[in-house]
Structure 1
């Protein structure tokens, strides 16, 4: 009854099934491992961001460039405050407000963006306290430059003078006549009565859309593997039924030359 499995047509079908199933299982397992890696990155980054406050501060130069291992670490830098900008549409807890961002001119010739604190309401220069004068030393959590789309950051266009949408060298270099570090610091304690902005996990370490895409692809690949098995059994069943009907003389002569599997 099952001798047809040794025909060239069924050899091709069987080889395809034997190759397709392991491939689908491998791809599904790989996507699952990517999701688990993102979960682990998120857990590690969150722990690092929360534990960074208890670690001793290190000089800024020792922590650059910012990566997953240095993001959230406490950094210290010395300089003089310069231009000040407001970063609108930033939430702290469940309240809407804005950051007060001041550039710290260092001896290296570059300026370090420093988030001195957060204030509620619409971004208003009159509400933002002036930065301290003279030489100051700041200490806070080191953060990587933002890009539009990260953490709700919007594009730069349409903002009034004195405001910036993203805290990044790419955005600030167009607003000041000197170089800016490709990183920023949020102070441990808010300056001049402002609320401190907590450190956040670095990009590509959160349970974002990409992470859940990996989880979705995992399910898709395992479904594909199940579909291949289902179709193989369906073709096998149709072939067996066709041969049984042919043996009983229930198949018209003109149909007996071809198989119901469609190949």
Structure 2
């Protein structure tokens, strides 16, 4: 299955935009209970205003809150970002550390976020157990465990360490495009023959094909053996992927009612993501 995922998603990658380890840490903190797309709309202005850890440490709280408001839970996230900047300046001379043990001691960074940073910013293999990853490896029968840390260790024993980071991206890509939470496209999945959960979603090929999302849809349908006609239709009708649906936060957040929602204008505006 891992080999099939590698063939299906040769370009799988982190869908948060960043250029430095600190930027990735900040973006990942903002992605809690927020989509990657929304985070990528916010971060260009944020990264320009706060280029280093010292800038976050000395940030005006109100100004920082307003910049990240569209990502939700902005007060809690502001606390994490200011705390992160302060800790990085005081403990690590302004440079984000590159070990799991050091990262998880920083404000706003738990094990999942640390593995994202290690894998994508420092090239240190890590398994990121988000909601997509946990759901899919359970559906595939790779593990029956539900605790994210236990899942991480269990899958780490199955897959060579050098592939951990790419495996995480491939599984997340598949969860966003084919193996959806509520309506998985079982009948259009290239893993159907080896999946013990085949049938929990639509099995009719035409119905399932319409559930596959993203620009990769035509190629994914061909890999699933559905032929050129459905692939051609998917090229014009496939819905876009919403990168990164809300995922559980690793830091305590207040109830949403405690933080006013961003205005409609704020929600629908903002520059597109910066180049990775």
TM-score using structure 2 length:
0.23
TM-score using structure 1 length:
0.24
Between structure 1 and structure 2, the one with the greater Rg is 1
